[in-house]
Chain A
Amino acid sequence: MTRKRRRLYIVSGFMLIFATAAALVLMAFEENIVFFYSPTELARKMEQQPIPPNRRLRIGGLVEEGSLGREKDGVTITFRVTDTVEVINVRFRGFLPDLFREGQGIVAEGSVAADGKFVATEVLAKHDETYMPKEVAEALKEAGQWQGDHE
């Protein structure tokens, strides 16, 4: 075999081995790479092992329509996060991102309280990948063709 061909095989072999090693490492660290759990994923995790009360984690999903409310102290807000299968109740006191509203995707960081509610310390907005002018969005909504995040 020519030296060039040998070099080709060595380099290709090396790449393959390294890619496999990288894949294995990423799979092993999956837990740390995932940025948030959906309500379904969180429910599944809680079934497998109860979550200690001070464990910080993040949940993500859509703010359920009609779920936005305010607690008696007038500052803390409550809402539900859904992935259309499971729901999580969230309590939050702090600044909300500009995009926050019902139907919007969000990611919240916090911990699960004793009463099963998620007490958030930070709420971020997660928007989808569609971009269009306002007029186009309005037209789609009127035609009943809206497939986006929110109403």
Chain B
Amino acid sequence: MSMHYFANPARFTRLAGRIQPLAGCLAAILLIVGLYLALVQAPADYQQGETVRIMFVHVPSAWMALFCYSFLAVASAVALIWKHPLADLAAKASAPIGAGFTFLALVTGSLWGKPMWGTWWVWDARLTSVLILLFLYLGYMALWQAIEDSQKAAKAAAVLALVGAVNVPIIKFSVDWWNTLHQPASVLRMDGPAIHPSMLWPLLIMALAFKAYFVTLLLARMRMELNLRRIRALRLAERSS
């Protein structure tokens, strides 16, 4: 099974050492290009004018918020079921990144909602479920900190992650299942994107930039977690010798 190929921490570290700088460079380049397209090149919207530029950071943030949680939930399931040695580290490493993007999705959403909708916040299904997502991330991170025994913490966190996973489809389909102020999906929908190419391309490039950024930070954080694990083991061994 290919997943177990990466179970060897040394192999993972070698690979991560090579991919991380590449992903970092890619993220920086895509971000610069994306920002130029978003702020300068992309046209104003026929309806929303220049505020539409907020979409180029709001939507990729929201996509990352959901993507990171899905990654975290899958890694947690792999940790619980297959007991892959790196899976719970991957989940733990991705949480702060996902939390950050969720926070950004909410804040940029507010900054977009005030001029366009006329309000900073409403308790509709979409906004409320994304706020819940933020709490799930924070609760997940808190659980890791709160439990002394790292193996017990991993298990408890994994369970929380899976319980919260139910929120992901709720967020995605909230705009379809219930009447909401937030509009339906513009890109990932049955009839294809409802965004003109001149705006779709900046959006996709920003989304790719955010993904490359995620990979970079994920690898750095996973390597950090691996090191911390080794440090704990070494210190424990010293104490007992």
Asked whether B179 is an interface residue with its Cβ less than 8 Å from the other chain, the reply is yes
Asked whether B105 is an interface residue with its Cβ less than 8 Å from the other chain, the reply is no
- B7-15, B162-170, B206-214: which lies at the interface: B162-170
Question: Which residue of A7, A98, A132, A149 contacts B80 across the interface (Cβ within 8 Å)?
Answer: A7
Asked whether A127 is an interface residue with its Cβ less than 8 Å from the other chain, the reply is yes
Per-residue A-contact encoding for B176-206, CB less than 8 Å = 1, 0 else: 0011110111100100001110110000000
- A43-51, A66-74, A118-126: which lies at the interface: A118-126
Cβ–Cβ < 8 Å partners of A37 in chain B? 179
Question: Which residue of A30, A125, A128 contacts B118 across the interface (Cβ within 8 Å)?
Answer: A125
Most chain B beta carbons < 10 A, residue from A8, A107, A131: A131
Q: Report the minimum CB–CB distance from A26 to chain B (whole Å).
A: 7
**Contact A127 B195, beta carbon cutoff 8 Å:** no
Q: How far is the CA of A60 from the CA of B119 in the complex (A)?
A: 15
List which A8-29 residues lie within 8 A (CB) of chain B.
Answer: 8, 11, 14-15, 18-19, 22, 26
Q: How far is the CA of A43 from the CA of B162 in the complex (A)?
A: 41
Q: Report the minimum CB–CB distance from B226 to chain A (whole Å).
A: 24
Q: How far is the CA of A4 from the CA of B4 in the complex (A)?
A: 14
**Contact B186 A131, beta carbon cutoff 8 Å:** yes
Per-residue A-contact encoding for B36-60, CB less than 8 Å = 1, 0 else: 0000000111111000100100000
**Contact A127 B116, beta carbon cutoff 8 Å:** yes
Asked whether A34 is an interface residue with its Cβ less than 8 Å from the other chain, the reply is yes
**Contact A133 B118, beta carbon cutoff 8 Å:** no
Cβ–Cβ < 8 Å partners of B28 in chain A? none
Q: Report the minimum CB–CB distance from A45 to chain B (whole Å).
A: 13
Q: Do A125 and B117 contact each other (CB < 8 Å), given the known contacts A35-B125, A133-B196? A: yes
**Contact A38 B179, beta carbon cutoff 8 Å:** yes
Q: Do A22 and B166 contact each other (CB < 8 Å), given the known contacts A34-B179, A127-B183, A129-B183? A: yes
Asked whether A55 is an interface residue with its Cβ less than 8 Å from the other chain, the reply is no
Q: How many residues of A sit at the interface, in one of the four size bands?
A: 35 or more
Cβ–Cβ < 8 Å partners of B183 in chain A? 126-129
Q: How many residues of B sit at the interface, in one of the four size bands?
A: 35 or more
Asked whether B81 is an interface residue with its Cβ less than 8 Å from the other chain, the reply is yes
**Contact B117 A126, beta carbon cutoff 8 Å:** yes
Cβ–Cβ < 8 Å partners of A34 in chain B? 178-179
Asked whether B17 is an interface residue with its Cβ less than 8 Å from the other chain, the reply is no
Cβ–Cβ < 8 Å partners of B44 in chain A? 133-134
Question: Which residue of A11, A22, A125, A127 contacts B81 across the interface (Cβ within 8 Å)?
Answer: A11
List which B118-142 residues lie within 8 A (CB) of chain A.
Answer: 118-119, 122-125
Question: Which residue of A4, A14, A30 contacts B82 across the interface (Cβ within 8 Å)?
Answer: A4
Question: Which residue of B45, B48, B118, B166 contacts A18 across the interface (Cβ within 8 Å)?
Answer: B166
Asked whether B154 is an interface residue with its Cβ less than 8 Å from the other chain, the reply is no
25 A-B contacts (beta carbon < 8 Å): A8-B81, A15-B166, A18-B163, A33-B178, A34-B178, A35-B122, A35-B125, A35-B178, A35-B180, A36-B179, A60-B179, A97-B116, A97-B117, A127-B48, A127-B183, A128-B183, A128-B194, A131-B55, A131-B186, A131-B194, A132-B45, A133-B46, A134-B45, A136-B46, A149-B47
Shortest Cβ-Cβ A-B pairs, 10 listed = A97-B118, A137-B46, A133-B43, A132-B196, A35-B124, A129-B186, A134-B46, A129-B183, A130-B194, A131-B195
Q: A30-B178, A33-B125 are in contact. List 10 more A-B contacts (CB 8 A).
A: A15-B165, A15-B166, A35-B123, A98-B116, A126-B181, A132-B199, A134-B43, A134-B45, A136-B196, A138-B46
